């Protein structure tokens, strides 16, 4: 299966996932949906640029699916770098864990064991393994691979974004783990967080398309006028479109650097975070034009905005963190 095939399949599946997105948000991604992603080959790509593009295509339909495909593919690729771990994992699916609230790594009877709490792990219901980050062993940053069976997962009330991933709080108590050294692309998660940019851009475009479709037909609840006729609505739409267009241009450049293996630079970090910032601003502006109907969970723009915020809070895509980092780089610090 070549890259064009994979993207065609992702685009086709995105249409189906979009139709199911409300139910996914309410009940989580189903086994059938994840199976469809797997059968389309969307959980396997090892090429970072392809992973981004798959995320972008899927994100236009469903943010949770785009996150899951990106996370599973990138976690799998990270594990495959280590032949021993690849053997251990076999055909099992791996999801990514975030930063722990607390953690300790210990050597017990020759086996490395991990205790700690990871407050939010997505996609756990569809994975056999979790790749946990934010750890260090003998002074070096590492990730830990742990079997889902050795973890205690608990649900918690989550009303924020990417609900289809059914976020869980994961606790480990002296669980046996396999360590994976963090590669040169790694900061936090095994260097793959940055690939979520594709999903983020896809979600933003999905929100824009949903907003345009809705606004074309919308009649003002007070006054009964066609909302599309309002000049300020037209002007705000143009501003958001221009922002997304600029974000697209930067995205294409970052994608090119990713394909060339040259995306782990301060400038790319800055651009990824700036794209995320512009995308959030663009969709936030559109949502603000929707008035009280923008609150409704049945409103796809509302759902996509939640998903977008969750994606934009990924550390590698966070402007607050990346802007001063670029400044330090430019100033030689």
- List contacts with another protein (CB under 8 A): 98-99, 101, 119-120, 122, 156-162, 167, 169, 221-223, 232-233, 236, 288-292, 294-298, 302-303, 306, 309-310, 313-315, 318-321, 324
Q: Pick between residue 13 and residue 95 the one whose CB is nearest to another protein.
A: 95
Angle (nearest 5°) at CA 269 between 97 and 266: 125
Q: Give the shortest CB-160-to-another protein separation in angstroms.
A: 6
CA 319/CA 324 separation, integer angstroms = 9
Least gap, CB of 26 to another protein (angstroms): 9
Cα-based distances in Å from 148 to 145, 176, 248, 251, 264: 9, 11, 37, 34, 31
**Alpha-carbon torsion, ordered 322, 62, 303, 161, to 10 deg:** -50
Please provide residue 42's backbone torsions phi and psi, each rounded to the nearest 5 degrees.
-90, -5
Closest distance to another protein from the beta carbon of 179 (Å): 22
Q: How far is the CB of 23 from another protein (least distance, A)?
A: 13
CB of 312 to another protein, least distance (A): 8
Chain length of the chain: 333
Q: Beta strand 140-147 with 178-181: parallel, antiparallel or unpaired?
A: antiparallel
List of residues 6+ apart from 242 with CB closer than 8 A: none
Q: Based on CB atoms, which residue is closest to another protein, 4 or 231? A: 231
With respect to another protein, which residue has the nearer C-beta, 106 or 225? 225
């Amino acid at each position: 299966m070549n890259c064009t095939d994979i993207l065609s399949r992702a685009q086709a599946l995105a249409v189906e996932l979009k139709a199911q997105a409300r139910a996914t948000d309410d009940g989580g991604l189903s086994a059938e949906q994840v199976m469809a992603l797997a059968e389309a080959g969307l959980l396997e790509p090892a090429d970072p640029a392809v992973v981004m593009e798959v995320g972008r295509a899927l994100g236009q339909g469903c943010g949770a699916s785009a996150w899951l495909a990106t996370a599973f593919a990138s976690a799998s690729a990270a594990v495959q770098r280590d032949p021993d771990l690849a053997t251990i994992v076999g055909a099992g699916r791996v999801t990514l864990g975030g930063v722990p609230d607390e953690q300790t790594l210990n050597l017990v009877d020759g086996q490395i064991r991990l205790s700690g709490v990871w407050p939010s792990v997505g996609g756990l219901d569809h994975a056999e393994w979790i790749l946990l980050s934010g750890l260090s062993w003998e002074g070096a940053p590492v990730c830990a691979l742990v079997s889902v069976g050795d973890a205690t997962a608990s649900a918690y009330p989550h009303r924020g974004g990417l609900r289809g991933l059914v976020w869980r709080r994961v606790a480990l108590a002296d669980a046996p783990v396999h360590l994976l050294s963090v590669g040169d692309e790694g900061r936090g998660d095994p260097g793959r967080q940055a690939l979520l940019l594709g999903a983020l851009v896809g979600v933003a475009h999905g929100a824009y398309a949903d907003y345009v479709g809705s606004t074309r037909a919308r009649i003002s609840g007070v006054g009964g006028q066609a909302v599309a006729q309002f000049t300020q609505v037209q002007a705000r739409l143009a501003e958001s479109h221009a922002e997304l267009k600029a974000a697209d241009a930067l995205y294409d450049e970052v994608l090119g650097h990713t394909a060339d293996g040259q995306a782990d630079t301060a400038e790319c970090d800055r651009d990824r975070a700036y794209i995320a910032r512009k995308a959030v601003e663009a969709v936030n502006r559109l949502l603000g034009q929707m008035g009280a109907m923008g609150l409704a969970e049945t409103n796809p723009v509302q759902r996509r905005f939640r998903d977008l915020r969750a994606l934009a809070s990924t550390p590698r895509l966070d402007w607050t963190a990346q802007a001063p980092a670029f400044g330090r780089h430019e100033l030689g610090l």
